[in-house]
Amino acid sequence: MVDPVVPINDGFELQPYLLGDQGYAMHPWLMVSFSITGMSTPAQHFYNRKHVQGRLSIERAFWLLKARFKISKNGIASSVGWVGKFIHAICILHNVIFINRLGHDDIPSALERVLKKERAAKNLRMRRQGRPDRPDSGHEVRDALVAYVMSKNK
């Protein structure tokens, strides 16, 4: 699978990213909002408002999925690509259950075994490879996002 890349701001290539809160460090793949003391422009305030709205929508959806499927008490330790496929699959299952008004069933134990194997494989990869990205490189991505969002909302 090829990651989608979106060109913005005269050729800046925006890679897929996750939304996080201030408790996380900034990375190219993880955007966090500006701190209250770090916001100085209307564009940064606007970005923060949109960032928080998006994050809250995602949190509500995850709350629903976690409640229905009783998963991720300890988080899903896996590659971003695999987690995306996993979440896509449980969204489909949720929709099938919702549309057909089916009763609540726990996810099969086979799925739990797959999750455990994937977590173990990821932990092994992380120990072998380490984390290659620079902590500050996420700021460049967020700044490009701010400029892009403001250019679309004039």
Residue 96 lies in a domain: yes
Question: What's the domain count of the chain?
Answer: 1
Judge whether residue 12 has pLDDT over 70.
yes
pLDDT at site 134? 45
Mean pLDDT of 53-77: 79
Mean pLDDT of 32-60: 88
- Cβ atoms 82, 118 nearer than 8 A: yes
Mean pLDDT of 65-69: 79
Judge whether residue 1 has pLDDT over 60.
no
Residue 1 lies in a domain: no
Taken in order 6, 12, 15, 17, the sign of the CA dihedral is: negative
* Each residue's pLDDT tens digit, 96-147: 777 776 665 544 544 555 567 767 777 776 666 655 444 457 888 888 888 8
Residue 111 lies in a domain: yes
Residue 19 lies in a domain: yes
Reported confidence tier of residue 31, pLDDT bands at 50, 70, 90: very high
As a whole number, the mean pLDDT across the chain is 76
**Residue 14: CB partners within 8 Å, gap ≥ 6?**
5, 6, 7, 8, 141, 144, 145, 148
Print the domain residue range for 82. Answer: 6-152
Q: What is the rounded distance in angstroms from the CA atom of residue 53 to the CA atom of residue 60? A: 11
Residue 46 lies in a domain: yes
Say what the pTM is.
0.56
pLDDT at site 56? 92
Residue 64 lies in a domain: yes
**Residue 19: CB partners within 8 Å, gap ≥ 6?**
30, 31, 32, 51, 54, 55, 58
Residue 22 lies in a domain: yes
Q: What is the rounded distance in angstroms from the CA atom of residue 87 to the CA atom of residue 93? A: 10
* Each residue's pLDDT tens digit, 43-55: 999 999 999 999 9
Residue 129 lies in a domain: yes
Judge whether residue 4 has pLDDT over 90.
no
